[in-house]
A and B are shown apart, each in its own frame.
Chain A
Amino acid sequence: MSTEPAGTPAIRPHAEQQFADELAELAGVDDRPRPPGWRLSPQAVVTYLLGDGGKITPKYVGPRRLMEVAVATLATDRALLLLGVPGTAKTWVSEHLAAAISGDSTLLVQGTAGTAEEAVRYGWNYARLLAEGPSSKAIVASPVMRAMETGAIARVEELTRMPSDVQDTLITILSEKTLPVPELASEVQAVKGFNVIATANDRDRGVNELSSALRRRFNTVVLPVPASADEEVDIVARRVAQLGRSLELPDVPPALDEIRRVVTVFRELRNGLTEDGRTKLKSPTGTLSTAEAISVVTNGWALAAHFGDGTLRPRDVAGGIVGAVIKDPGTDAVVWREYLETVVRERDGWTAFYRAARDA
């Protein structure tokens, strides 16, 4: 709940708070038809996500068509399933879509192995239930139920981590757009504007595959890892700058060279191939996502600002990179050493980084 006292702002404001200016700006000039319950027209939502090169900053850097498919899906009142490996901005996109469409990105169900049906449907306020018997007042509405009542976007994170029976409670909600409450012999019918954005990781251990009945209710958009090094450097640089501002790090701009180096290391290890395409590499067990690259650079920035000379140096990122790459001390350490000795050592201008990484 956004009831924090004034003066001590939240660590991480919601998208609709952080980008309130941009949303207002877009709403002001948006003259295209808006689907019922939408704050913006579909075209404006796409602009909000991808930026317009001016006042509206890009939230997602990647293929435009993906965002268009996502927005068009929500406009046809079909539910949207964002698939991808960890760190491909699934949650980020879902938050911004909800913020732009409904102005509220907080109607969130987090999927875990322990998520119960009440989290998707409704629970009971037992004190009230015992005192007054079943009534609509004794119901504790889930975020999904509240979204249905208010005509907003509900978000389900990590859908495939939920047990299958809990997943399937979404079927009625998505196909009939209603949530029956048999205890009260009533139902909650979704108001126009209601929809569901789910995110899922299809290549992880311990996931529960979606039943085909549920899968059929979703349009699927697969978010890829960034296609080119430049794109990824751009994403990392942009996010690091935003994070730095919100973390109130001393104002040293992170050197683009270091960011490029981090991204290069991540991409090469992730793809199992050097960027010049000449050398095959072993890949470590971790996913080495863009999100991890961002955290390595941010971490390095903090190190440089507080303990270094204020400039992001190879030694500031080396430790973070080693920590991100070596997830399994047995196999990953070998992979990393091989990479250091065969690729990093030979590369021009990477000597300082090589030494720092070897010592780290």
Chain B
Amino acid sequence: MPERFYGIRHHGPGSARAVVAALDEQRPDILLVEGPPEADTLVKWVADERLVPPVALLGYVADDPRQAAYWPFAVFSPEWQAIRWAADHGVPVRFFDLPYAYRLAVEDEPADRPERPADPIGELAAAAGYDDPERWWEDVVEHRGAPAFEAIGEAMAAIRAESAEDPADLVREAHMRGVLREVRKTHANPAVVCGAWHVPALTAKVTAAHDTALLKGRKKAKVTFTWVPWTYGRLASWQGYGAGVRSPGWYHHLFTTPDEVVTRWLVAAAGVLREEGVPTSSAHVIEAIRLAEALATLRGRPLAGLAELTEATRSVLCEGDELRVDLIGRQLVVSERLGSIPDDMPAVPLARDLAAQQRTLRLKPEALERALDLDLRRDLDLGRSRLLHRLRLLGVAWGEPADRAGGKGTFRESWRLRWVPEFAISLVEAGGYGTTVVTAATAKVAEQARAAESLAEVTPLVEACLLADLPDAYPAVLHALDTRAALDADVAHLMGAVPPLARTLRYGDVRGSDVAGLRTVTSGLVARICAGLPGAVTSLADEAAQPLRNHVDAVHAALAMLDDEPGAVAAQEPAQAERAPRSLRDRWLEALDGLAGSDRTHPLIAGRVTRLLYDGDRLDAAETRRRMGLVLTAGTPPSDAAQWVEGFLAGGGLLLVHDTALLSLVDEWLAGVAADSFTDVLPLLRRTFGTFAEPERRSIGERVRGGAVAASPAPIGLDHERAASVLPTLGILLGREIHHVSE
């Protein structure tokens, strides 16, 4: 027969070498490779030096890219080497597997379809007495470098005669034979590179009519193919298409290292350990080599393989430490190598959409880091900000917000931009979520919201929706938020959710986002908090009280930030207007009122809450004074009193300086403490006042000495005419016009 069949092991470096040697000898006039025929037009790219493996052929349904499949190639893949050989020698290449379009159409496959019944290599290896098929192949074919293609074909025939056939294989092979028949008419000397399993089926005498019958009535979907960069990590974790490769780094080493395979490998392993700061001497490497070779001899192998090297590494270089073995496994055995593709390659839809947006927004990907300042009042910058936020949601961290805390309430946003090639892969992965950046980000956020298990996972998504402007994701996120909030019994979690929601409500209009519906969820959340808080603050351990106090402060600050619009709520829900005329803030303060009045509230919280109520004008000076006096009497244990004062005055150093009413309250109380109780109270007060800054303490002392305290605060007289003169400047600063409303 003029044609020759090369039954290879997918991603086997030995097969790759053998195939290249055999092709050099045969000099075929056409090369048939196992692969999707739709990708035939992409073969020309292999000759392009910029297409660097590992790369993969990505095929997807044109109108539904979530249905996609990959055909990865590494430098040591026999298929890749064969195609490269053909490209170098000007030989035409055809992929001759069943078109991907045909395979897609078969949707309703029976679930119990027999997988390929036998692991062919496994059976051959078991027959030869090997427990690990990979080692058998390495020993018999790859390490000996012998082109045993005929022998492998025969062996496969023997195995296939014994085992049941996978129907999917039969269909594919029928198609392969069809292409082969066609090629034979035009070419005298074809070469066929395919998985060893298929060789017997291709050489078998089968009539064309039989094959046509098998392939009849198949529907085709419209598919698109392209090259995408791949990584060895994904090659190792990835299943399907023959065999996944557990050790691509080792195969790469085998294929690219001309001599001293064992020594170079162990030297590299020692290098990995040294980089991690593990002292590894050359003596270690020498001993590891000796052990690997002794093991190979013990096992009767011609050359130490990966198994021997790994064991020698574990035993000598890593001293039995599995963490170090894992490190070498990650960095060397798998090796995170990334392929690349030429820029002018037709890309996945998501990448195309991104490229289009990058053009309209005049934002070019650059490898060098640079800063970008955005003014969100400009449409162009707002668009850029949204794009960057959406990409972050998709796992493409092209831009990092330079200052996370500051940016939210203002028109300015700072970013640090840096494009790394890995993003191409992230884009391919994200391609499953959608074909455009906005739909993909929406789908991903919705999926995360559904998958979220706790409230803390959902709340950041609300803000993400706001920043990235994904209105379509809101229903899913809000629903998840509502459900999680209902299920979450921990008030602290609920309270943690309020600040981001409040920020979204407050600044949503700055960014022109639509936040209707969010208010409903927020008020539901606040209602739950108000209901749960009294239970949460009783019988509280001191360690737990501090975080809860911070939560109370955060919620208080967040609610203060919201415009109180009882009218807006009432207008939306006229039926409830009677029952719920109060703003969120009112309800919150009412709940706090209940806490402050209860004896069972933890003193730290009670003190804090009293202070908040005082600040919010819910308690007048007299009542506050009474409550403080009540706590700071002999009836209350000193430690409780201390906590109360701490809660009341926390962070309030500056306030005492400026708020003469408050200062006089404290001063009055302090002066009223009986002489013998004073010594008890002193350490507690010291603890609180000790946290104030030095200048604050000094000013407080000066004010008390100066007698400013005694005078009741004078009513502030406001000259409206003079005050109004700053309004134009303020308007410029705020970016909106301010009208002076005279009383």
Residues of A within 8 A of B (CB): 42-43, 46, 64-65, 68-69, 71-73, 75-76, 78, 81, 83, 212, 215-216, 218-222
Contacts and interface: CB of A to CB of B under 8 A. Distances in A.
B649 to A, nearest CB: 43
Nearest to A221: B315
Given A42-B298, A75-B298, A69 B320 contact: no
Most-contacted residue by chain A among B281, B298, B322 (CB, 10 A): B298
B299 A83 contact: no
Contacts of B294: 42, 72-73, 75-76
Contacts of B318: 220
Contacts of B307: 65
A68 B295 contact: yes
Given A68-B299, A69-B311, A73-B315, A216 B290 contact: no
Contact of B291 (A76, A212, A216): A76
5 nearest A-B residue pairs (beta carbon): A220-B320, A72-B294, A222-B320, A219-B315, A72-B295
Interface string B259-287: 00000000000000000000101011001
Given A73-B291, A75-B294, A78-B291, A216 B284 contact: yes
Contacts of B322: 222
A15 B315 CA distance: 26
Interface of B: 131, 279, 281, 283-284, 287, 290-291, 294-295, 297-299, 307, 311-312, 314-316, 318-320, 322
Q: Tell me what chain B mostly uses at the interface: helix, strand, loop, or mixed.
A: helix
Nearest to A41: B298
A216 B290 CA distance: 14
B315 A69 contact: yes
Contacts of B315: 69, 73, 219-221
A38 to B, nearest CB: 13
B320 A65 contact: no
Contact of A65 (B281, B290, B311): B311
24 contacts: A42-B298, A64-B131, A68-B311, A69-B295, A69-B314, A69-B315, A72-B291, A72-B295, A72-B297, A73-B294, A73-B315, A76-B287, A76-B291, A76-B294, A78-B316, A83-B320, A216-B281, A216-B283, A219-B315, A220-B316, A220-B318, A220-B320, A222-B320, A222-B322
B316 A72 contact: no
Nearest to A81: B320
Contacts of B311: 65, 68-69
A221 B295 CA distance: 14
A46 B279 contact: no
Most-contacted residue by chain A among B279, B297, B319, B320 (CB, 10 A): B320
Given A73-B291, A78-B287, A219 B298 contact: no
A90 B315 CA distance: 16
Given A65-B311, A69-B311, A219 B291 contact: yes
A71 B279 CA distance: 26
Most-contacted residue by chain A among B294, B311, B314 (CB, 10 A): B294
A215 B319 contact: yes
A241 B131 CA distance: 30
Contacts of A212: 279
A216 B286 CA distance: 12
B298 A68 contact: yes
Contacts of B281: 216
Nearest to A202: B320
Nearest to A45: B298
Given A65-B311, A216-B281, A222-B320, A43 B291 contact: no
Contacts of A221: 315, 320
Given A215-B319, A220-B319, A72 B298 contact: yes
Given A43-B298, A65-B307, A219-B316, 4 more contacts: A68-B299, A69-B295, A73-B294, A219-B287
Contacts of A71: 298
A191 B283 CA distance: 23
A69 B291 contact: yes
Given A83-B320, A220-B319, A46 B298 contact: yes
A92 to B, nearest CB: 18
A220 B307 CA distance: 16
A69 B291 CA distance: 8
Contacts of B297: 42, 72
Contacts of B316: 78, 219-220
B593 to A, nearest CB: 43
Contacts of A64: 131
Contacts of A69: 291, 295, 311-312, 314-315
Contacts of B279: 212
A179 B297 CA distance: 31
A221 B297 CA distance: 19
Contacts of A83: 320
Contacts of B287: 76, 78, 219
B162 to A, nearest CB: 25
A216 B297 CA distance: 23
A222 B324 CA distance: 13
A76 B290 contact: yes
A215 B316 CA distance: 9
Nearest to B131: A64
A46 B297 CA distance: 13
Contacts of B131: 64
A216 B299 CA distance: 25
B290 A78 contact: yes
A148 to B, nearest CB: 21
A34 B635 CA distance: 90
Nearest to B294: A72
Nearest to B322: A222
Contacts of B320: 81, 83, 220-222
Most-contacted residue by chain B among A46, A72, A212 (CB, 10 A): A72
B303 to A, nearest CB: 15
A218 B317 CA distance: 10
A48 to B, nearest CB: 13
Contacts of B298: 42-43, 46, 68, 71-72, 75
B371 to A, nearest CB: 47
Contacts of A46: 298
Nearest to B279: A212
Nearest to B316: A219
A194 B425 CA distance: 56
B82 to A, nearest CB: 35
B134 to A, nearest CB: 14
Nearest to A210: B319
B130 to A, nearest CB: 12
A276 B318 CA distance: 33
B665 to A, nearest CB: 51
Contacts of A220: 314-316, 318-320
Contacts of B284: 216
A113 B679 CA distance: 55
B324 to A, nearest CB: 11
Contacts of A218: 319
A72 B287 CA distance: 12
Contacts of A222: 320, 322
A145 to B, nearest CB: 25
Contacts of B319: 215, 218, 220
A221 B315 CA distance: 6
A71 B295 CA distance: 8
A334 to B, nearest CB: 22
A218 B299 CA distance: 22
Contacts of A75: 294, 298
Nearest to A43: B298
Contacts of B314: 69, 220
Contacts of A216: 281, 283-284
A87 to B, nearest CB: 18
A75 B291 CA distance: 9
B315 to A, nearest CB: 4
B246 to A, nearest CB: 16
A119 to B, nearest CB: 25
A141 B176 CA distance: 77
Contacts of A81: 320
